[in-house]
């Protein structure tokens, strides 16, 4: 039961320090782009340019065919936007503790807040892109649907998964700096191993279950179910149960590992 106690303790600290968490999130968001002329606009410009490039390459250049009778670009961004959040938050949260060594050495500081700050900072950008997603669907003539409300559920699901992973990777990175490089490699592999650019039906049916073991698959498909397929998450009960089982284990292990290693952070840093 130690992982459960560790998780409950960390969540209590988060709730008790929610004001400090919000202040640190705003500070991190500003500092990330401090010194540049466009400032925080870069947080939105860079991914927007990426989407425009993909749109030009696939929609204009290769003239990609619609997927399930939907324009390819809409199908694509429904998968790309959640992946942007997953990769950005995991990568930045992994290095959050070693980047703030001066705070870790303060006895009274809640170190477990550091990965959360990075996740919240990435979430601000993600919310902007969800708004862009609504705008793109409107431009193509698709109206708002009640299924779009499901996106709130997938927000929560992504945060839970990333939170557990960030507690695990950020604590291990303090002692093994190679973990950050390893996480970057896993994210690169995960990007191409998740059906973002390609349709799962392209894979032989007997191998599809292997790709569905990837938790990111559940999230990417969840966005498409909310915007394209008009399906509720409880209609895919086995995938939902599997996702939350994996996420629960990740959160328990991540919380336990973080709490176990936290007393030694200051000595190593």
**Quick one: angle between helices 237-261 and 215-224, nearest 10?**
130
CB of 25 closer than 8 Å to CB of 120: yes
The confidence score (pLDDT) of residue 99 equals 75
The confidence score (pLDDT) of residue 142 equals 84
DSSP bridge partners of 70:
67
| Cα–Cα distance, 108 to 10 (Å, whole number) | 15
The confidence score (pLDDT) of residue 157 equals 92
DSSP 197: S
3-state helix, strand and coil shares in percent for the chain, rounded to the nearest 5 = 80, 0, 20
The confidence score (pLDDT) of residue 222 equals 92
Phi, psi of 107 (to 5 degrees): -60, -35
Cα angle, residue 61 at apex, residues 58 and 64 outer, rounded to 5° = 40
By C-alpha distance, which of 136, 139, 142 is closest to 80?
136
The confidence score (pLDDT) of residue 154 equals 92
The confidence score (pLDDT) of residue 35 equals 56
The confidence score (pLDDT) of residue 137 equals 87
Q: Where are the domains of the chain?
A: 2-268
The confidence score (pLDDT) of residue 221 equals 92
DSSP, collapsed to helix, strand or coil, labels residue 254 as helix
| Cα–Cα distance, 31 to 33 (Å, whole number) | 5
pTM: 0.84
| Cα–Cα distance, 91 to 85 (Å, whole number) | 10
DSSP 35: T
H-only helix segments in 194-264: 205-212, 215-224, 237-261
Collect the ranges in the chain with pLDDT lower than 50.
Answer: none
DSSP, collapsed to helix, strand or coil, labels residue 266 as helix
The confidence score (pLDDT) of residue 39 equals 61
- Give the number of residues written for the chain: 269
**Quick one: angle between helices 113-139 and 72-94, nearest 10?**
170
């Amino acid at each position: 039961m130690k992982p459960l106690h560790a998780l409950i303790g960390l969540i209590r600290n988060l709730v008790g320090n929610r004001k400090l968490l919000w202040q640190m999130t705003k500070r991190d968001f500003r500092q990330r782009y401090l010194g540049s002329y466009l400032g925080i606009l870069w947080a939105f410009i860079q991914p927007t340019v990426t989407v425009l490039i993909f749109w030009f390459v696939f929609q204009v250049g290769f003239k990609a065919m619609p997927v399930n009778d939907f324009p390819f670009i809409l199908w694509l961004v429904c998968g790309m936007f959640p992946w942007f959040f997953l990769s950005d938050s995991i990568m930045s949260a992994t290095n959050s503790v070693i980047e703030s060594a001066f705070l870790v050495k303060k006895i009274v500081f809640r170190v477990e807040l550091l990965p959360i700050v990075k996740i919240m900072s990435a979430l601000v950008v993600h919310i902007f892109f969800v708004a862009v997603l609504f705008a793109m669907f409107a431009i193509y003539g698709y109206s708002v649907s009640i299924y779009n409300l499901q996106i709130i559920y997938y927000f929560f699901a992504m945060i839970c998964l990333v939170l557990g992973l960030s507690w695990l990777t950020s604590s291990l990175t303090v002692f093994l700096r190679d973990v950050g490089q390893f996480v970057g490699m896993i994210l690169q592999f995960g990007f191409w191993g998740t059906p973002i650019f390609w349709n799962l039906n392209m894979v032989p049916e007997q191998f599809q279950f292997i790709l569905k073991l990837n938790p990111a698959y559940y999230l990417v498909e969840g966005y498409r179910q909310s915007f394209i397929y008009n399906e509720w998450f409880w209609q895919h009960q086995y995938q939902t149960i599997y996702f939350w089982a994996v996420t629960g284990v990740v959160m328990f292990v991540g919380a336990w590992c973080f709490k176990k290693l936290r007393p030694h952070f200051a000595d190593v840093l």
